[in-house]
Amino acid sequence: MLREFRLPDVGEGLTEAEIVRWHVAPGDSVKINQTIVEIETAKAVVELPCPYEGTVSALMAGEGQTVDVGAPIIAVEDGAGGDGAGGGGAVAGREALADDMVPDARNGAPAKEQRQPVLVGYGVKTSATRRRPRKPAASAGVDAGVRAAEDVPATQDNGSAVSTRARALAKPPVRKLAKDLGVDLTTLTGTGPQGSITRADVETAVAAPAPVPAAARRESGAREERIPVKGVRKATAQAMVTSAFSAPHVTEWLQVDVTETMEAVRRLRTLPEFAEVKVSPLLLVAKALITAVKRHPMANATWTGEEIVVKHYVNLGIAAATDRGLIVPNVKDADVMSLPELARALGELTERARAGKCQPAELSGGTITITNVGVFGVDAGTPILNPGEVAILAVGQIRDMPWVVDGQLAVRKVTTLALSFDHRVVDGELGSYVLRDVGAMLEDPLRMLAWS
C-alpha cells in the first residue's frame, strides 16, 4: 500500500517550511522513526522521522522548495498490498495532465503570443520620420571639400529631436580614413583651419591609447547578488520590525570595571565542578541578570495590551548569530540552576544553535534576553527587544582601559552594558535599578551570593 507522509506542524502555528536536505532517495528502505528529511521552519532546522516502514516510492518536494503544512512530501510503499503502481500512476497522471495544459505546436495548437501590456510613460516609443538636417554652407576660408558632420537625431522624453553630437569639420578623404580606422570624428578636436579635423588628427587619435572604462577594469563576475529572504532570516526580520514599531524602546548605558569578574572566571575554570564545561564571562553576566530580575520582577514580564504578565521564572534567551540568521534560543528555568548547571546549559545551547539543531520549543517562551555583541569586537549597541519580552541586555567587548581606583589611575578590565526595555512596563527608574544591579555584581561578584 502506498502511503503519503504530509508535512506536519512541528512548531506553534507553523504554516510552511523549506526542504533543506533529504536523507533518503526513491528505492531506499526506511524504518519507523528513521530520519528522512531536514526542514527549515521560521525558527530552526528540524529533522523529521518517518512514520512508516517500507520502500521510498517518490520524493514529492525537492531540496530548497517551500512546502505548506499538510502537503505530501514523500510516498512510501509499505508492502501491505499493491505493487506501488497506483502511486506511480498518480504521479504519471499528474505529469500527463501538466503536459496537456501546455500548448504543443506539433499538435497544431501553438501557444498564442500574448501582447505585453505597456504602462503609460514606460512603453516603447515609436520613432517618427524626421527630415534630414540640411548641410550648412561652407565657411569662408575653409576648403569647399570640408563639410559639417551630420547631426544624429535623438528622441527626448517629449518626443522632440535634439542633436547629440557636436559638428565636426573634415574633408572627405579624412572622413574615409577615420571610418577605416574606426575613429569617431565627433570625439576629436581639429587642428586645421576653422577647427577642421586633419589626417594627422585622426592618426594621432589612433596612436594614443584609448582610456579603459572603469567597467572594463572591474574583475569578471556578477555585479550583484540576490539572496532570497526566507526561513530564519525572514522570521527574524518580521519579528524585529514588529518589536521596533510596537514597543517603545528605551536604552540605558553603563560602563563597568569587570576586573574582579575576570579573576572569578579564571578561578572557576580551575574548580573540578567546571572541569568539563566552558566558563566564560557570559556565565557571570547571565547569573547577574537572573539575580537582578529576581530583585526586580517587572523586568521579567510580558505586555499583552490588557494586562502585564509577570513571570516568576526565568527562561534566559541568548542571541546567537548563525549561518541562517539570528536566533534566540533560551535556557528553561535558568533561575533554579546551579552555576555549573547554568554553564553546561549555556554551552550546549550555543553549540546546538550554531549547528542549526535547536528544537522549536527552545526558540519560544523566553522571558528576557542577553546579546553578546562584544564577540564581534564592538563596545556596545542598542538591542531590539525579543518580541514578547520587556528587557534585553547587550554586553560589549572587555578591554583594558584607564580607570580610577581608590583615587589612583590604573589599567582595568572594562566593558559597556546596554539595557533596552519596554517603557510601557519598565520605567526609567526600574530600568536603571536593573542595570545598576547587574553592573554592581560584575564589579564585585560576591554581591551575587549576597543577593541570590
Structure confidence at residue 324 as a pLDDT band (50, 70, 90): confident
* Mean pLDDT, rounded, for 138-161: 43
Strand positions, DSSP E, 316-407 = 316-318, 320-322, 325-327, 330-331, 368-372, 391-395, 399-405
* Mean pLDDT, rounded, for 255-266: 97
Same fold for the pair 2-83 and 232-451: no
With residues binned 3-state (H G I as helix, E B as strand, rest as coil), the percentages for the chain, rounded to 5, are 30, 25, 45
What residue spans define the domains of the chain?
2-83, 232-451
For the entire predicted model, the pTM comes to 0.59
What pLDDT, in 10s, does the model give residues 390-402?
999 999 999 999 9
Contact between 86 and 104 under an 8 Å Cβ cutoff? The reply is no
Q: SS3 for 278-302, per residue?
A: CCCHHHHHHHHHHHHHHHCHHHCEE
Integer-rounded Cα radius of gyration of the chain: 36
Is a pLDDT exceeding 80 seen at residue 120?
Answer: no
pLDDT of residue 59: 93
pLDDT of residue 209: 65
Lowest mean pLDDT among 5-19, 256-270, 411-425: 5-19
The catalytic site residues sit at 423
User: To the nearest whole number, what is the mean pLDDT of the chain?
Assistant: 79
Lowest mean pLDDT among 215-224, 257-266, 281-290: 215-224
CATH topology of domain 232-451: Chloramphenicol Acetyltransferase (3.30.559)
202 strand-pairing partners: none
pLDDT of residue 81: 53
What pLDDT, in 10s, does the model give residues 183-223?
888 888 888 887 888 988 888 887 766 566 665 666 666 76
* Mean pLDDT, rounded, for 14-24: 87
pLDDT of residue 83: 44
What is the residue whose three cell numbers read 546596554?
Answer: 418
Residue 51 CA to residue 74 CA, distance in Å, equals 11
What pLDDT, in 10s, does the model give residues 390-446?
999 999 999 999 999 999 999 999 999 999 999 999 999 999 999 999 999 999 999
Residue 59 CA to residue 67 CA, distance in Å, equals 13
Is a pLDDT exceeding 90 seen at residue 12?
Answer: no
CATH topology of domain 2-83: OB fold (Dihydrolipoamide Acetyltransferase, E2P) (2.40.50)
CA-closest candidate to residue 415, choices 448, 432, 393: 393
Structure confidence at residue 447 as a pLDDT band (50, 70, 90): very high
Amino acid at 288: A
Percentage of residues in the chain having pLDDT higher than 70: 76
Burial of 47 (0-12, 13-18, 19+ CB in 10 A): middle
* Cell numbers for 283: 556565565
pLDDT of residue 139: 42
Structure confidence at residue 265 as a pLDDT band (50, 70, 90): very high
